Amino acid sequence: MNSRRDFLQKIAAATIAIPFASNNVLANKSPYYKPYDGPVLRVAIMGLGSYGTRVAEAMRDCKMAKLVGVVSGTPAKIKTWQSKYNIEEKNCYNYENFDSIKNNTDIDAVYVITPNGLHRDQVIRVAKAGKHAICEKPMAVNAEEGEEMIDACNKANVKLLVGYRMHFEAKTLDIIRMRKEGAFGKVLFFQGLSGFIIGDPTQWRLNRKLSGGGAMMDIGIYSINGSRYMIGEEPIWVTAQETKTNPQKFKEGIDETIQFQLGFPGGAVASCLSTYTLNNLDRFFLNGTEGFAEMQPSTGYGPIQARTNKGELTQPHITHQTVQMDEMAGIILQGKQPVVPVDGYEALKDLKIIDAIYAAVKTGKKIPLNL
């Protein structure tokens, strides 16, 4: 099955012409991997598919987060994960008995890695069980559902974090630092290209009920979110146009390609593309009066490649999900504040933009935003 996650992995490998050291080699040299003796976030993963597996593998190298539990509707997967990751039987759940996790003091947080259309109900169940919720992006299929998730977590006094791994990526953070310091002058333009050719027409990403939409609810969110953290402002309007060349594969409610434009209060504009019909689209470009930043690949699993008018960025690659989970542990256990937020309110802004993009496609009008 072709998917966004397959695409992100393949484009990164195809774009890089030189080999990079393994994570273990980098771990021996990176200050990130200094010995740690402190509290550890004990995590259960809900949804044991390809990305859940990627997160589990990355967590092997975490120092502040540990995989201790699983939630799955497939007994065979649970058995495999038990053996592979040394997970105790009492920390294994299915979707029928999951609510009893509230009595399990060995689990602090549940990472929901399931189809978009299931996020709302599952995160609310996590919150009601008294566990911190980590949810894959997009957080929900629309802003209304996102608000319900935030309210449930607030009511239960638990954290709601969303899997924005790029918010912790070293080259991304360096460009954000340079922009804040004025290295690019007044920012005027951002371009975000996010796309790949999707395969199996029967997969959940092309099922409206499970996905909530098409490419925009999958790969397109990277350009939406990227425009915000690269420019450093919240957009105030959006326009959008949809192109559909294969209505049999991309049925009603499943967008194939959307071009969208965002306007920002400082005068910058963003021009972005989200598509399921073109490969090799993983590029960010930021332009200002004094310089530029370019990333290609910009959101793949890495290594990210980036340069500015001052030259190449050379920070070493560390597996994104490893860094993400350790940083999220710091947020939950120590109250750490990330450079770019990863909480439910951050995710809600993206959902409001997605809602407005679909409204702009439908009406042909410029839709005002109030984030």
Q: Which of 51, 111, 164, 222 is an active site residue?
A: 222
Task: Supply angle C-alpha 211, 264, 188, rounded to 5.
Answer: 115
Sign of CA dihedral 210, 215, 218, 220: negative
Q: Which of 51, 93, 131, 137 is an active site residue?
A: 137
The torsion angles phi and psi of 194, rounded to 5 degrees, stand at: -135, 115
Residue with tokens 């953070």: 173
d(CA 152, CA 147): 9
Three state DSSP letters for 207-247:
CHHHHCCCHHHCCHHHHHHHHHHHHCCCCCEEEEEEECCCC
Secondary structure of residue 145 in the 3-state scheme: helix
d(CA 333, CA 46): 21
Neighbour tally for 98: CB within 10 Å: 19
Question: Is 222 designated active site?
Answer: yes
Neighbour tally for 102: CB within 10 Å: 14
For residue 284, the cross-strand partners are 192, 295
d(CA 151, CA 269): 32
Question: Is 229 designated active site?
Answer: no
Is 262 in contact with 237 (CB distance < 8 Å)? Answer: yes
Burial track 232-247 (b if 16+ CB lie within 10 A, e otherwise): ebbbebbbbebebeee
- Closest to 205 (Cα-Cα) out of 284, 128, 136, 108: 136
Catalytic amino acids?
137, 222
